[in-house]
Amino acid sequence: MTPEKTLFSQIIDREIPADIVHEDEKCIVIHDINPKARVHLLVIPKKPIPTLFDLAPEDKDLMGHMMLLLPQLAQAQSLDGFKTQIHTGESGGQEVFHIHIHLLGN
């Protein structure tokens, strides 16, 4: 039995529509459907990693890629500052168990 695909894996596979801001070989960036700021983007790796606890040493380049992408995305959205959030685990507020970075700015 294969595990059920997450919402984000379904978006990556184009099974569910999303407002895509950026896509490359490693990640996809979408507008959050329930924004908490004027700009609220989700930076999602294409590799389905459930939580930060599940990161492996070979994921450092992927995570670095996502972190370096954040300021580029912010500038493209005309932000001169932003904050990021990564929820980890149910008690950390994580709702979709596929790691992602929230980029928020006003």
Distance CA 37, CA 40 (A): 6
Burial class (CB in 10 A: 0-12, 13-18, 19+), 29: buried
Of 22, 40, 65, 100, which residue is the catalytic one? 100
Q: Which letter does DSSP use for residue 91 in this model?
A: G
Distance CA 30, CA 23 (A): 9
Q: How many CB atoms lie within 10 A of CB 12?
A: 23
- Catalytic, 102? Answer no
H helical segments located in the chain: 7-12, 60-76
Residues serving a catalytic function are 100
